[in-house]
A and B are shown apart, each in its own frame.
Chain A
Amino acid sequence: GAVVSQHPSWVICKSGTSVKIECRSLDFQATTMFWYRQFPKQSLMLMATSNEGSKATYEQGVEKDKFLINHASLTLSTLTVTSAHPEDSSFYICSEERGQGPYNEQFFGPGTRLTVL
């Protein structure tokens, strides 16, 4: 069964509004979660690493003031797209890692499809 959930599954919003996406670990205390973005026919692009109780680590080129990440508990990380614009329309996926050492399998949430009009 699913180990990571995301909400909402899809969202349509007007340009300039903010959208919050939740990522929940269902049966694991995830100190680290990852946020990806995937445009059509392109690879997964890591946006940021979400760390429980501390600031997220953003990848180069990702605006931390636009994509706000909060990881307040071991089972919940949120991504807020602030002042969304049409170019932010994408498939947003979170994941968590389980395991130790180099073999850390990533479990992905079902994704959130964001469409900004």
Chain B
Amino acid sequence: GQNIDQPTEMTATEGAIVQINCTYQTSGFNGLFWYQQHAGEAPTFLSYNVLDGLEEKGRFSSFLSRSKGYSYLLLKELQMKDSASYLCAAMDSNYQLIWGAGTKLIIKP
């Protein structure tokens, strides 16, 4: 079956760096998405990786290893507003998104 695994919750300190891991198993693969979702709100797009390697976008970076079925989202210089859930989603061979349950990130001062 198809499956996405990511930690349920993580805690980090303001100004620090945090890495949120995601492993996936899908029927075929057409890319890996990361979305941010604040409580009670809809998800917003953060990044897309389809090739191996690191994609950097400001304070956020996303990494993909297709051979390992693994991705991570790296958040630098954490701010209190980064407190949110981070959703990992893999696109399968039918271009359908398979969603993880999300990682709740708690930022402490």
| Number of interchain pairs (Cβ within 8 Å) | 48
Say whether A43 contacts B48, CB under 8 Å: no
Name the residue in A44, A106, A108 with the highest tally of chain B Cβ atoms < 10 Å from its Cβ.
A44
How far, in Å, is A39 (CB) from chain B's closest CB?
10
Sorted from nearest, which 5 A-B pairs have the closest CB atoms?
A: A108-B42, A102-B30, A43-B101, A43-B99, A44-B99
16 pairs of residues in contact across A and B, judged by CB atoms under 8 Å? A41-B101, A43-B4, A43-B102, A44-B87, A44-B89, A44-B99, A45-B99, A93-B43, A102-B31, A102-B95, A103-B48, A104-B95, A105-B45, A106-B45, A110-B42, A111-B41
B: residues with CB less than 8 A from A are 4, 8, 30-31, 33, 40-45, 48, 50, 87, 89, 91, 95-97, 99-102, 104
A: residues with CB less than 8 A from B are 41-46, 91, 93, 95, 102-111, 113
